[in-house]
Amino acid sequence: MIFLLNSINTRELCHIRPLLTLDVAKMIGNSIVLSRLDYANALLHGTSVYNINRLQVVLNSLVRTVCQAPRSASATELCCQLHWLPVRQRISYKVTVIIYKTHSTSKPAYLSDLLQDYQPARTLRSSDKLLLSVPRMALVFSVKAFSISAPSVWNLLSYQCRSAELFSSFRRILKRELFDIAYSERKQSA
């Protein structure tokens, strides 16, 4: 259903796009289509590649519409120019923001109880790196649970990002890291 609604909204934006400036088109694309892609996308962490690719197709269509580019244009290049993250990194961004807010405020309690600080049995170099403990689970399906996927995503971040004092600086560092991860292949080939 979300794919249908977003493609309809993108088609409608395509009709009025010649009348808009790039900034206005970005704003409309963000408010109408990307807000629906981002809504509750933290639940998609660990979903299949097929589902991620379907959402990426919607994002690619939107970025080509906003930039008034032909279908043959590289959507990755256009996303990079607009400074938009791909779907997989958007999901990681959302999960990480939820972790930061929960870890710093201890609210909501039901999520805060799922996040445990990493406390090794003896003193290690990783003891003061602000890591979260990843529970061990036997089932493959359990890696999609918040209590397992959230610490895994958090622990992949740099120490600079994890130790950010202000939420605004955390978001800025996080987006830069995810952007570098998403478009690192493009930078290396250039």
Residue extents of the structural domains in the chain: 2-84, 90-189
> pLDDT above 70 covers what percent of the chain?
86
48, two tokens = 């299949």
Task: Tell which residue, 123, 124, 125, 145, has the closest CA to residue 134.
Answer: 145
Q: Flag the least confident range among 46-55, 68-77, 105-114.
A: 105-114
Distances (CA, A) of 10 to 36, 75, 90: 12, 15, 19
Q: What is the pLDDT of residue 1?
A: 47
Backbone φ and ψ for 121, nearest 5 degrees, come out as -65, -30
Q: Residue 145 in contact with residue 42, Cβ under 8 Å?
A: no
62, two tokens = 């939107």
Q: Residue 17 in contact with residue 66, Cβ under 8 Å?
A: yes
Angstrom distance (rounded) from CA 55 to CA 34: 10
Name which residue leads in pLDDT, 178 or 32.
178
**Residue 17: partners with Cβ closer than 8 Å, 6 or more residues away:** 25, 65, 66, 68
pLDDT tens for each residue of 123-150 = 665 556 778 888 877 666 667 788 888 8
Q: What is the pLDDT of residue 14?
A: 87
93, two tokens = 């961004």
Distances (CA, A) of 23 to 6, 16, 104, 164: 20, 14, 34, 30
